[in-house]
C-alpha cells in the first residue's frame, strides 16, 4: 500500500486533515498528486477500511473520502463506523457504480455528506472536498460551542452573503421576542435564539457565486439554494445540537399551506419553533436589500406580510407578531427621519 509518511502526522496536527480510502493504489497516487499543491490540507491515505479505522482512532481527521467496494470492510460500513467513532468527521462516499441502493445506503446508513462517481472530474472533486472541509470546520466549532460561538459562526456564514449581514442576529431577536410573547419557557427561548442564529448555516454549502447572483436564478442554481435547510440541519445534527434546533433549521422554508421546501410540510406538521423562525425570517428578508431586489419600504413590508399571512404563516403566530413588527417598523421610520433631518441640517450648514 502507499506509505503514509510519519512526518505528515507530526507536522500536520491542527490542519485540515483529509483521509482518502481506496484499495486501488493508483487511485490513491492520483489523489495525492491532485492535492499535492494544497498547503493548507494534510492528506492521509489508507488502502483498506481496517487501516482507515486505525487512523481515525488516533488522528484528528476532518473528512474521510472512501471508495465503496473494497475487500474487507465496505465503504458504507466504514463510514457508518466512523460516524460513531468520530461524529464530527465529514464523510464522502466514492463509487464506480452509481446504483440506487448504494446511494440510499450512503445516505441512510453512513449518513454521507456527498456521493462522488468515479471517474471524477478533478475540479469538481477539489471543490467538493473544500466545501466539505468548510462544513467540517463549522461542525467542529459548533460541537464545542457556547452561545457566543454560535453567533460568531452565524456571522461568519453571513459574510459569504454580504446582503444578509446581521440577518441571523435580527431573526434570532424577533423570533425570541415572539416566543416570549406566547409564553414559551426559558429553555425554548434559548433554543429559538440558537435556531434563529443558525437557520441559514446550510448556506455554507451554497457557492458564493450563486448566493450573490444579482438576478433571477436558473433552475439548477435554485435547486442548490433549496438544499440549504437540509445541509444546515445536517451540520447541526453532526454537532449534536438539540433536535428542536435542528428542526428549526430544517423547516424554516416550509410554509403553513404546504407550499414550502424541502418537504412541503403543512400546518402543525412544521414544529412550533420553526413556524416562529419562519415569520421572523421573512419579515427581516423583506426589510433587507438582496442581490436581486431592493429592500422593501415599510408599507410594502406590511402589505406583503399581510398577503403572505393567509397561506404562509401560522395564523395565530402572525397575529401576535403584528405588534412586534410594528414596533420594529416604527423605530425604523424614526431612525430614517432623524437621519434625514441630520442630512438636511448638514446641508444648510454647508449652504
Please give the residue ranges that form the binding site for Fe ion (CB under 5 A).
Answer: 200, 281
Give the shortest CB-253-to-Fe ion separation in angstroms. Answer: 6
Give the shortest CB-272-to-Fe ion separation in angstroms. Answer: 18
Q: Which is nearer to Fe ion, 273 or 281 (CB)?
A: 281
Instruction: Please state the φ and ψ torsions of residue 91, each to the nearest 5 degrees.
Output: -135, 130
Cell of 280: 421572523
CA distances from 38 to 92, 121, 134, 155, 237 (A): 19, 17, 15, 27, 29
Number of C-alpha atoms within 13 angstroms, CB side, residue 3? 4
Instruction: Please state the φ and ψ torsions of residue 232, each to the nearest 5 degrees.
Output: -65, -45
Q: Nearest Cα to 92, choosing from 136, 60, 122?
A: 136
For 105-128, b/e burial (b = at least 16 CB within 10 A) is bbeeebebbbbbeeebeeeebeeb
Asked if 63 and 112 count as a contact pair (C-beta separation under 8 A), the reply is no
What is d(CA 182, CA 320) in angstroms, rounded to the nearest whole number?
Answer: 8
Q: Which is nearer to Fe ion, 83 or 252 (CB)?
A: 252
Q: Which is nearer to Fe ion, 59 or 281 (CB)?
A: 281
What is d(CA 12, CA 29) in angstroms, rounded to the nearest whole number?
Answer: 19
Asked if 100 and 117 count as a contact pair (C-beta separation under 8 A), the reply is no
Give the shortest CB-308-to-Fe ion separation in angstroms. Answer: 15
Residue 160 annotated in active site:
no
Q: Which is nearer to Fe ion, 44 or 198 (CB)?
A: 198
Q: Nearest Cα to 195, choosing from 139, 267, 251, 111?
A: 251
Please identify which of the residues 160, 181, 203, 223 carries the catalytic annotation: 203
| H or E element in which residue 244 lies | helix 243-251
Give the shortest CB-276-to-Fe ion separation in angstroms. Answer: 13
Q: Which is nearer to Fe ion, 67 or 281 (CB)?
A: 281
Q: Are strands 63-67 and 114-117 parallel, antiparallel or unpaired?
A: unpaired
3-class secondary structure, 132: helix
Give the shortest CB-181-to-Fe ion separation in angstroms. Answer: 21
Q: Which is nearer to Fe ion, 22 or 281 (CB)?
A: 281
Question: Would you name the residues annotated as active-site residues?
Answer: 203
Amino acid at each position: 500500500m502507499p506509505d503514509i509518511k510519519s512526518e505528515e502526522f507530526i507536522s500536520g496536527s491542527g490542519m485540515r486533515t483529509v483521509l482518502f480510502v481506496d484499495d486501488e493504489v493508483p487511485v490513491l497516487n492520483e489523489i495525492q498528486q491532485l492535492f499535492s499543491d494544497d498547503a493548507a490540507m494534510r492528506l492521509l491515505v489508507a488502502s483498506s477500511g481496517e487501516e482507515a479505522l486505525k487512523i481515525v482512532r488516533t488522528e484528528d481527521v476532518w473528512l474521510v473520502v472512501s471508495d465503496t467496494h473494497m475487500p474487507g470492510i465496505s465503504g458504507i460500513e466504514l463510514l457508518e463506523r466512523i460516524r460513531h467513532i468520530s461524529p464530527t468527521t465529514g464523510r464522502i462516499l466514492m463509487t464506480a457504480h452509481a446504483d440506487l441502493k448504494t446511494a440510499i445506503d450512503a445516505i441512510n446508513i453512513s449518513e454521507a455528506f456527498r456521493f462522488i462517481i468515479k471517474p471524477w472530474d478533478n475540479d469538481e472533486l477539489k471543490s467538493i472536498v473544500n466545501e466539505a472541509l468548510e462544513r467540517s470546520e463549522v461542525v467542529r466549532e459548533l460541537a464545542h460551542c457556547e452561545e457566543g460561538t454560535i453567533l460568531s459562526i452565524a456571522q461568519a456564514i453571513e459574510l459569504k452573503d454580504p446582503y444578509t449581514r446581521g440577518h441571523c442576529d435580527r431573526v434570532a431577536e424577533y423570533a425570541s421576542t415572539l416566543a416570549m410573547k406566547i409564553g414559551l419557557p426559558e429553555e425554548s427561548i434559548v433554543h429559538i435564539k440558537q435556531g434563529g442564529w443558525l437557520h441559514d448555516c446550510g448556506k455554507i454549502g451554497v457557492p458564493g457565486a450563486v448566493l450573490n447572483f444579482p438576478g433571477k436564478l436558473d433552475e439548477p442554481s435554485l435547486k442548490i439554494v433549496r438544499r440549504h435547510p437540509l445541509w444546515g440541519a445536517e451540520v447541526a445534527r453532526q454537532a449534536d445540537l438539540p433536535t428542536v434546533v435542528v428542526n428549526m433549521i430544517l423547516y424554516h422554508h416550509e410554509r403553513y399551506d404546504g407550499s414550502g421546501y424541502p418537504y412541503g410540510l403543512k400546518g402543525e406538521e412544521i414544529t412550533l419553533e420553526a413556524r416562529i423562525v419562519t415569520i421572523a425570517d421573512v419579515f427581516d428578508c423583506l426589510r433587507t436589500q438582496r442581490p436581486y431586489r431592493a429592500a422593501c419600504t415599510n408599507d410594502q413590508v406590511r402589505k406583503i406580510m399581510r398577503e403572505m399571512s393567509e397561506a404562509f404563516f401560522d395564523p395565530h403566530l402572525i397575529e401576535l407578531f403584528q405588534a412586534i413588527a410594528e414596533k420594529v417598523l416604527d423605530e425604523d421610520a424614526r431612525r430614517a427621519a432623524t437621519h434625514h433631518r441630520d442630512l438636511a441640517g448638514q446641508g444648510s450648514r454647508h449652504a
